[in-house]
Amino acid sequence: MKTIKGPAVFLAQFVDDKAPFNSLDGICKWAADLGYKGIQIPTTEKFLIDLDKAAESKTYCDDLKGKINSYGLEITELSTHLQGQLVAVNPAYDIMFDNFAPDNVKNNPKARTEWAIDQMKKAAKASNYLGLNAHATFSGSLLWHTFHPWPQRPPGLVEMGFEELAKRWLPILNEFDEQGVDVCYEIHPGEDLHDGDTFERFLEATGNHKRVNILYDPSHFVLQQLDYIEYIDHYHEFIKSFHVKDSEFNPTGKKGAFGGYNNWGDRAGRYRSLGDGQIDFKRIFSKLTQYGCDVWAVMEWECCIKSPEQGAREGAPFIQKHIIEATEKVFDDFAGGDTDDAKLKKILGL
């Protein structure tokens, strides 16, 4: 067993043009003052990390890490959720996902994909220079628009989709392998990797690449009505990253898992601040600890009701309360001792 590290916070949802959320020093002091011990850094924010420099200069990475450490914080992982998304975009989503791309590759899907792949490779090098062994990202999606098969999917479509997805990711995975870093895909609705079956399809399509791993976030499984506890039993060996995010599912006679095109606040399934939803975090932390998952417990805030400031204040103590100090002692080991065959036979009456 292994004690989960934390509490930590994913900074993406807190970045702002106002202090303290508009500078590395400001956001580090804010996180440390709230009791966080780690930060997960989105690589799209240059004031937090310049990915181009980080991929080229270990000195830059050492300086960055030193500054963060000076606040009593560690970097848990770098995040390339947006770049990973752009590795694979179905043309149906081109216009909307161009919002995440730099201006020089907008309206050019091929150039956008090449840019995203290059970003991912740079993140692998930067992670290595920063001494990290796991990385958080999205898989992107070529098939999501077909998840509910109407019209019927033609034979071979899903297989071809995962073959193409693997083809795009394999050079990235090989770069991460060279750098000694695991790629942790957040299993998430909207991604081609959104549950257990799709994760297995992708793993198989990559030839069981050893760097294909999981960012486990139970909030997305509640919205799918998937057993998020049993998921750990199936995939614990792949769980190398962990988002602590709450959610709830309250279906009515008018709406269910698909949400009726409503805004988040009006959906049956919606994300909540830690402790305000339906997720059994005691069981999750117990399972992950029992299986020895070597992860940081990273709060991701995405609540449609509570303010981010309150969510962040409450997040650190919530996670700290759930972290289990893994025991190194068996409670009944007083009954132990060396194996004595004669004694065992006597107990059994043999």
The domains of the chain are located at 5-348
Phi, psi (5° rounding) for residue 233? -60, -40
Selection from 245, 176, 242, 258 nearest residue 210 by Cα:
176
Selection from 215, 341, 237, 218 nearest residue 292 by Cα: 237
* pLDDT at residue 329 in the model: 77
User: What is the pTM for the complete model shown?
Assistant: 0.95
Whether 334 has a pLDDT exceeding 80, the answer reads no
One-letter amino acid for residue 131 of the chain: G
Considering the domain 5-348 in this protein, what is its CATH number? 3.20.20.150
Residue 16 above 80 pLDDT?
A: yes
- Concatenated DSSP letters of 96-146: HHGGGS-GGGTT-HHHHHHHHHHHHHHHHHHHHHTT--EEEE---BSSGGG
Residue-wise pLDDT for 244-291, tens only, equals: 999 999 999 999 999 999 999 999 999 999 999 999 999 999 999 999
Q: For a pLDDT cut of 70, what percent of the chain falls above it?
A: 98
Kindly report, residue by residue over 147-190, the tens digit of the pLDDT.
999 999 999 999 999 999 999 999 999 999 999 999 999 999 99
